[in-house]
Amino acid sequence: MTMNCGVRQKGDVTILDLFGRLSLGEEVAFGPGSGVVLGETIRELTKKGDRKFLLNLAGVTYVDSSGVGQLTGALTTARNQGAELKLLNPASQVQNLLKITRLDTLFDIKHDEDTAIKSFAKGAAAQA
C-alpha cells in the first residue's frame, strides 16, 4: 500500500496529511504514478520557499523502524534547509515507537492542529 499525502497551507504552515503505512519501500504518492520519499518531499517544498512543516500522522495506520527512519530523515532534511518540522496527532502505536526509541525528545509532537500552528510563531519569536 502506498503512503498517500495531501498538502495544504494554513497561514505560512505547510501541513502534510499522511495516510497509510510508513515503512520500508512505501512511497509518498502525489497522484497516479508519482511517488517520492518523505525527505525528498520536504526538500522540494523548501525549494519553493516553505519553512514550517506539520506532518499530520492521524491517518497513518502503521509505522515500522524504516518509517521512523523516514520521519527522522524528514526532520534532518528540514533542519538542513533552514526549516522547522513538527508532528501532529500520531496514533498510539507511533507515539509508543517514538518513545521507545527516545525520538519523542527529538520531535516536537502536538495533538491539536491550532496549537501546533501557533507553536511555530512562538519559535520564530524566540529566535528573533
pLDDT tens column, 8-40: 999 999 999 998 888 765 445 444 333 446 888
pLDDT tens by residue, 97-120: 899 999 999 999 999 999 999 999
Closest C-alpha among 107, 111, 120, 105 to residue 91: 111
pTM assigned to the model? 0.84
pLDDT tens by residue, 55-100: 999 998 888 888 888 899 999 999 999 999 999 999 998 899 899 9
Q: 502503521: which residue's cell?
A: 62
Rg over CA atoms, the chain: 14
Domains of the chain with bracketed CATH: 3-127 (3.30.750.24)
How many helices (H) and strands (E) in the chain? 4, 6
Q: How far is CA 103 from CA 15, 26, 54, 65, 94, in A?
A: 21, 21, 16, 12, 11
